[in-house]
Structure 1
Amino acid sequence: MNLRILTYFLLLPTVALGQSVHLDSLKTIISSNIPLTEKEEPIWKLLEEVSWTEPSFSMTLVDSLLAIPGIHQDSSKFMEVVRYQGKTQRAVGNYVNSLKKYQQHYDYHERTKDTLGMALSASQIGILNLFSGNMTIAQDYLLKSHAFYVAKGSQADIAGANNGLASFYADMGQNDKAIERYKMALKAYDLAKDTSGMANVHANLGLVYIDLKKYDEAEANLRLQGKYDSIIGTNWGLGFYFDFMGYLYSEQARYEEAYENYNIALKIREGEQSHYNLDESRVSLANVMLKMGRYDEAIIEAEKIFENKEKQQSLTHQQSAFEILSEAYEITGNYKKAFENQKSYKMISDSIYNRDHLGEIAENDAKFNKVEQDNEIALLNSEKMASAKILKQKNRTIVIGAISLFLISFLSFLLYRVLRKVNLQKSELSLALRDKDLLIKEIHHRVKNNLQLVSSLLSMQSRTISDPSVSGAIEDGKSRVRSMALIHNDLYQNENLKGVNVKSYLDDLCTELFNTYNINPSRVELELDIDDIILDIDTIVPLGLIINELITNSLKYAFPDEREGVLKIKLRTAEDQLMLTISDDGIGYDIDSAGSNKSFGTKLIKALTKQLKGDISVVSEDGTRVEIAFKKFELA
């Protein structure tokens, strides 16, 4: 029974020697009474260096960053905060929340086409799924990370990617490939004088050599890991060292020495915050207790593994615990509990097996069928020797079988030809559809570019006009053009060519309008309550123009003389209607009694509302609230 499932995989930075004075200086700045905005740069620096070693403190630093005004509007900074949230959650062993944060980070960088950002989070997603037993997902993201880093990353990045792939191969039992990748990573870390990286790879090589029963090579690599981790001075790394040495001794049947090392690892990890690593030590201890005949203690230690199962959701740990409990209860004569735990072990094993080892299942199934066929031939031979009648029946069965086989072969050939023709047609249709999508995307791209050109021409024209009313009208026209350009930009960038995500579109539109009219978000607060829906282009274009006009009216007239207030935009679907509400707490504005300089905008709103079969109402109390119920709209 081999219960070793964890790989010591370095994904997060550690604090190097000689940095304590530097870190103390940063902490002094952060604890001072200077304004929070002036602490932003020190907070980022400190997070970079202690996010793994001091996760609780790092969570406080993350909260401080989120409290800085404007951090949410800067998407790149906000995504860095999300990345550090993922780091701290992994550091405390909450792999479920950590995985969510890294997935959010990956999705953002995938949208912005930032391959290095994708590589960073892909490596984390891959190793977290590897720890949890999700092998297919782990392989997918580790290969993505490796491809991204090979294309654009540094040598250290590529070394880390090779280390991750090697860990995957090791868990899959492909030890030769794992050793090859580990040595590639070790060479790069050695050239870079990266002590943490070298410690990491030596530990992983030690585990592979243990599985290969090359115990001398294993111990040599583990001793080097212990040396490097002692130099760095990280309890996290030393926890792995003693755990892995215990594993080495256990595989050599030196159970007392294994037990001693496992206990040291457990005590170190009880002082840390990673539930995953703590449960890894408990698996190790329970396993060696079982081998030492200390069955009751093994049961107690294995039961503790389920205390954190919701936080880390590690199938591999639960699998190991159920296997230990099943064996311990069977030895002690509690066959009912032994059977219950064996069932749970089998269920989790089947879950991992069916998800990640389909090829192995097919191979085993083929072997099983071969054995069945051999048994059937032996039985027929026995019957032939025993009875001529049985021989005659058998021959008849063979003839019928041959005819059936011929018919099946002939039908299979015909079916193959039909399927081949269908697949060829499908391929041609797929190519045609892809070409059509590319053409549609190109059309949206060109429309967007042309609208942006019109917007630029309007800007140039407005700068040559001295009459403020005329210049303002041109600026309003420019705003309308930009609202349509955003729609075509969204269609060009996304897979859905028939519709636009309203929430994303309105977020971009509001940002554009706030920038156009130089509105500080701290003066006029924006509240969006938008259903997550995708509208057909024939609906979103008039709707976007209506919303553009109403927001423009509020920003231009509702908050004069630097007045502060709140602008609320709400869009909901209810009872076959699309309900739009735009309100502000400004000085009040009546769409029907607006000045002549806004008459075109008023007419435009009413005309577009009528186009979508909408009913409009305006309330001017404590500001202005415009409500429109659209009966004609299409979801994409």
Structure 2
Amino acid sequence: MKKIVVLRFICVFLICTFSCVLVAQDSLSSQDEDYYKQFQDLENGELRSFFFFNTPNRYNQNSPYDWLDTVKVYLNSSEKTKDSTSIRNYQLIQAQIYYDLGNYEKSLAISRSVYDDMDALDKDVKQTILELMDGNYAMLQLYDKQIEIRRVKRELGFNENVAYYDIYASLGQYRKAMRDYMTEEKKELKDDDYYGHAIYNNTIGDYLRLDKSTPTALSYFKKAEGLIKVFLSDVTNQRTDKEIADGRVLNGIIIGNIGKCHVQLNEYEKAIPFLEESRDIIKKYNKSKFSSDLIENTLALAECYLKLDNYEKATDYLSNDLNPIKTDNILKRNRIYADYYYKTGDFKNSTAYLKKNIKIRDSIDAQASNIKNQQLTSVVTQDLEDSRKMMERQKAQLEESRKDIKARDDKISLVFISLIFTLMGFAGLVYAYLKSIKNQRLIAEQKFIIENALVEKDSLLKEIHHRVKNNLQMVSSLLSLQTKNTRSKAAIEALEEGKSRVKAMALIHQKLYQNDDLSVIEMQSYIESLINSIQSVYKKGGHNITITIDAEGVELDIDRAIPFGLILNELVSNSFKYAFPQDDGNGKIYIHLRKIAGQEGFFEYTDNGIGLPEDSEERANSSMGIRLMNRLANQLQTTLKTDKTTEGVRFWFNFK
């Protein structure tokens, strides 16, 4: 008996040692391989594309930016030779590199240009481009577009069904996401698929963690950790480099999720080893790729050390080149900074970070609820549509089954059995028909409720903007009354300027409730209305001045439109008051505004008046108008620049 125990111990020890040696050798070879050079040594775009997408740790020695520069050279060369196949392959590689860097808008732009030529692509390229677009739309929270891509994937045979559980989770419906995920994925898993079971348990644990069911989530994560360790230590099955790399990254994510559970349970000392180990694994095996898990784990570590009063460690992780993209991560980083400065007695910086979060939340609250409801409505509608189609398929299958039964009955020639099966088929059709009517009625009722809720919310929002506009007009009227009761010329001018500024803000809200889209303002018509309003104030000047407005097609949200309106109000008012003292009819004002999605905007204002006085810089410190414009420019995260020209003056700035 003792000999058997000793032999078993020796066997287990040898197996463990062998697997550890293999893992260590694989790790070293993976780190030492110069994939960048191997990629360059290949002959054409097709071979390079295959190598790139099948090399998991491709950024082990060279950063994604090095790869991007090289691919751009190859792409330019292919465009010169008009090699369409290589052009598509290099564009596909570019899109994946931008995705790895977290630049999802750029990745999506390139992916869509390739997607527009889908008919010319082979099956593997189609699948790759669709997966890329699916991921980009998910990260950019464009769920309606994501649903369209998944429908295309199903039509091309890449997926049997269209799943929505991850979209429900992104919209905060974690319980619904978990139920759908368990229904869809559990039936597809095989008993010996340790990697699949690890993903399954980690995903359910993540939904539970986000739903604040932390103890239950922790049990799922620990089960997932055990399964992925079995997968990585299994030397009996041959694994590809990509499968091993994916397994190690998943292992790091699971360990990080365990650490985040301990943070939720306020077990900070317990959480730190898990979070640090997770960071090391993800950085090693997901090298140079953007990772939300890496950012979340780093923020969680900073929070742990801050709670344990280890400020040095906390600031080390906070200053660890974090570049969060998700709004939740940005808010968490600001909150941790605020807590850190509060604990260290720097209340000014603490307040600044809290104000940043308030500003972000205000910006989100203005639109997020409506957008979230729209996205959720779109997903629910599509989900119900897919359920209806599934019912139709089941009905068709039932019909086919009835026909088979009838044919069999005809062959057997037993009238009694034939009658029974016919009645059963008829009963099945009636049941399916009644169920279909019930479901259609339910769909119609839910759609009616959702549409009414959306209409009511739009009406309330328009009413709010209308009331704000009316209140601002009342303020303007009060200023007019005060002007009539004031004899001081300086006071009258100040009240008129105040009235003009109030009108500029009221006009914003008037444009909003008159628009179908409550989130943006069309700037061309707004600027025209604003100019007319200012001309009505300065009746002496302004009517003989030629004003050119170039802002066609530019739309801005309210947070940027109000500062723009006030800046423009000050500039036009100054031109009317000071720039054209002779009022000889040759005055010209040019207003230019451009904003392209994903790029910096540009604003320019020029007039050909008498220009700025020699002491304009000294006056800028005492002039309320100049100081107001500078503060408004700060709100737009830019700086107002002034150029003295041969004729008049030019104001301009770039903005995000």
Q: Tell me the TM-score normalised to structure 2 length.
A: 0.42
Structure scoring higher RCO (CA < 8 A, sep ≥ 6) equals: 1
